[in-house]
Chains A and B, each alone.
Chain A
Amino acid sequence: MNVIQQVLFAVALIAAAVIITRRVKYIAGAINLGRPEDRSDNSGERFKLMMLIAFGQKKMFTNLTVALMHLVIYVGFVIINLEILEIIIDGLLGTHRVFAPYIAPVYPFLIGVFEVLAFGVLAVCVVFLCRRYLTKVSRLQPENHEEMRPRWPRLDATLILIFEIVLMIAFLTWNASDSVLRDRGIGHYGELKGIVPDFLISQYLKPFFSGMSDGGLVAYERFSWWFHILGILFFAAYVTYSKHLHIGLAFPNVYFSDLQPKGEMKNMPTITKEVQLALGIEPNITADATGNAAQANENGEQPSDLGKFGAKDVPDLSWVDVMGAFSCTQCGRCTAACPANITGKKLSPRKIMMDTRWRAEEIMTGKQKNGADYTDEKSLLGDYTTVEEINACTTCQACVNACPININPLNIILQMRRYKVMEDAQAPASWNAMFSNVENNQAPWKFSPSDRFNWADEINNK
């Protein structure tokens, strides 16, 4: 019987490892759909940022209550997983609480800590479900936000909370049933009698099990043990499909996030080349990306391909932007801070990130099915995100500021605007008028450039 369990456990473990490896490759492939961009600079500053914002959750603490609740789940997740090491060894070797005899003095304390955290996680998950469905926190409601209306985002959020609750119940009742078996001195459970006492929380659950027969207790102990560990393996695989990837991706996402001032837009060196030629200036810019083009120009030739300006689809974005899309937990703090969204415009920074992820997955799945060269007729801008959305942005950077893990929806919006204006030559008529004023009158309005200094008349004529 024990051997069968051991074999089954090994099979489950291997199956989970295979599925997760496959999914990690899929996600890495999807992120690499994005353009290469060097972010190997300033490693010290980046590490510090990662420790503060990802590890230390600094930006969560703009709302203390929510931050503390999230912290319970986060610490619980990390620390309770230490217990998984023992569970895996027990599962493979057919032992029971293998560490207990070796670390007897601290073992009950450790399990006590796990139990307190498990209870905390359970309670917070209940509160989080209430925030979503009873007190109806605005940014989570499909009534207020179009991108939360499809079934999957809502189901995903609900499933994961229920899942955590069930797993924590399994863990606590497993300890309780095990304690009763230990008291009764049944089989190998009894071997730990006198070594392992009752645990901090599960001791209060013992009355539920004291009326059960020995056989029934052993059955429940086995059921809850298996349920708990299979649940964790399932959870690990499920996370790779869900918005909860942030538990891992938050760290690289913060590490590789933008370091420049939030107001700075990235330069386009290929354009600089063109402009310098147009103005008759010797091209002398340092940007390395244009090295090839510069050489071509020295030989008096036009570079054959300037590449696409801006972004129409996921492969036009930087891999950092695509990673942001996979790191996004759809919490909606960006959207709640967005002036366009607050005043009822269609733009929602969260939707920009979700669109980017869905489109990246669509391309990736297409390539997996039909080969690496596969392309379809769809694109991020047009089939997912609309021009009305990107044009509503005030570039105020509130979304960038609000994101607890430094995702930058604004960058994606601006890249799409560049595509729309420079590749499609489409802009609202009044923007075109503004462009032509800037070009011809050196100001966004139609004033004569020679009148620019007229304001001084009032002082000079005094």
Chain B
Amino acid sequence: MADMTAAGDEPEILFWVGCAGSFDDRYKRVTLAFVRILNHVGIKFAVLGPEESCTGDPARRAGNEFLFQMQAISNIQVLNGYNVKKIVTACPHCFNTLKNEYPDLGGNYEVIHHSQFLQQLISEGRVKVADGQPFKGRKITFHDSCYLGRANKVYEAPREVLASLDADLVEMKRVKANGLCCGAGGAQYFKEPEPGRKDVNVERTQEALATGADTIAVACPFCMTMMSDGVKNQNREDSVKVYDISELIAQGQGL
């Protein structure tokens, strides 16, 4: 972003990579898949790079409002400094925080989740899954992220993205508004769970496996980890894979 601004240029959109997309080895592959799609389509986008900082979501959900606002207000200074208008992010937590919680602190942007962005590209015909259909006959089930679904009512965009793959979409028992959490939200990801009978991600993974799908599609870095761990817990990592929707689209395009 700094380079673009220095060159007097303005991007169409700012890609907010998020901490997981920047540092988590598994989710970096999602970042790359999404960037490959953006480059392939010829979207002029920018990232903040080292100027990006945690949105503060986990701090806020854990109760540390002070730390959240420190992060938020610093980020807003950076974003406003570059006169950012439109943001896309592959993380539902960043999405929710940037979209719903930054306006109260002076950060007003059009914020969309990468599932919505991909849906737009597909409906505009700018992204087409190649012939030869690597997904034909495969069963995919989509796991709703709480902060995308219930929190912001984005249920259809990721499903429409998956529908473009011409795969067999199968739904779990608890979906959309009734979707079951992966267990990571509310800063649970950053601590051990409280004592109980079972881990939430195992409960959810069992439900996903019961659909008979060979691919569990997710749209959130934390769901990605929780569901992948769940699949390992059930000893199914050889037969069942967890992918982000942008990875599936990138695969479909041979990127």
**Contact assessment for A262 and B151 in the assembled complex, using a CB-CB cutoff below 8 Å:** yes
- Check if A459 sits within 8 Å of B35, measured CB to CB: yes
**Contact at A276–B73, with CB atoms within 8 Å?**
yes
The distance in angstroms between the C-alpha atoms of A261 and B149, with both chains bound, is 11
Partner among B52, B61, B77 whose Cβ is within 8 Å of the Cβ of A452 = B52
Q: A452 touching B100 by the CB < 8 A rule?
A: no
A443 CA to B94 CA, complexed, in Å: 12
- Are B191 and A430 in touch, CB under 8 angstroms? yes
Contact of B200 with A by CB under 8 A: yes
A453: CB under 8 A from chain B? yes
Point out which of A344, A420, A443 has the most chain B C-beta atoms below 10 A from its C-beta: A443
Say whether A450 faces chain B, with CB atoms less than 8 Å apart.
yes
* Selected interface stretch from A124-132, A186-194, A200-208, A267-275: A267-275
Asked whether, in the complex, the Cβ of B62 is within 8 Å of the Cβ of A427, the reply is yes
Q: Is B185's CB under 8 angstroms from A396's CB?
A: yes
> A393-B186, A430-B191, A438-B58 given as contacts; is B65 within 8 A of A455 (CB)?
no
| Number of residues on chain B facing chain A (CB within 8 A) | 71
- For the complex, what is the distance from the CA of A392 to the CA of B67, rounded to whole Å? 21
Q: Which residues of the other chain, A, contact B61 by a CB distance below 8 angstroms?
A: 265, 395, 414, 417
A344 to B67, CA, bound (A): 31
- Whether B73 contacts A419 by the Cβ 8 Å rule is no
Q: Which of A396, A439, A447, A458 contacts B146 (CB 8 A)?
A: A396
**Chain B 33-60 interface mask (CB, 8 Å, partner A; 1/0):** 0011001000000010110111010111
Q: How far is the CA of A448 from the CA of B101 in the complex (A)?
A: 26
Tell yes or no: A331 within 8 A of B by CB: no
Determine whether the beta carbon of B150 is less than 8 Å from that of A398.
yes
Given contacts A396-B186, A455-B21, contact A275 B69 (CB under 8 A): yes
A401/B63 in contact, CB under 8 A: no
The winner among A344, A420, A452 for most chain B CB atoms within 10 A is A452
- A442-B54 contact given A268-B65, A455-B21, CB 8 Å threshold: yes
Residues of chain B with a CB closer than 8 A to A422's CB: 63-66
Whether B63 and A418, one on each chain, are in contact in the complex, defined by CB atoms closer than 8 angstroms, is yes
Docked complex: A279-293 residues within 8 A CB-CB of B: 279, 281, 284-285, 287
- B181 close to A (CB within 8 Å): yes
Pairwise interchain contact A450-B183, C-beta atoms closer than 8 A: no
Contact B197–A447 (Cβ < 8 Å): no
- Are the C-beta atoms of B62 and A401 separated by less than 8 Å? no
Chain A residues near B100 (CB, 8 Å)? 260-261, 263-264
**Which residue of the partner chain, among B52, B56, B147, contacts A263 with CB atoms under 8 Å?**
B147
User: Roughly how many angstroms separate A27 CA and B183 CA in the complex, as a whole number?
Assistant: 37
- Closest chain-A Cβ to B100's Cβ sits at a distance in Å of 4
Interface string of A335-347 (1 = CB under 8 A from B): 0010110111111
Closest 8 CB pairs of A and B: A263-B151, A344-B197, A395-B186, A417-B63, A421-B63, A396-B181, A344-B196, A442-B53
- Residue contacts A-B, CB under 8 angstroms, 20 given: A279-B70, A342-B180, A345-B193, A347-B194, A393-B186, A394-B146, A395-B61, A397-B146, A398-B178, A398-B179, A398-B180, A421-B64, A430-B192, A439-B67, A442-B54, A443-B23, A449-B50, A453-B22, A455-B17, A456-B47
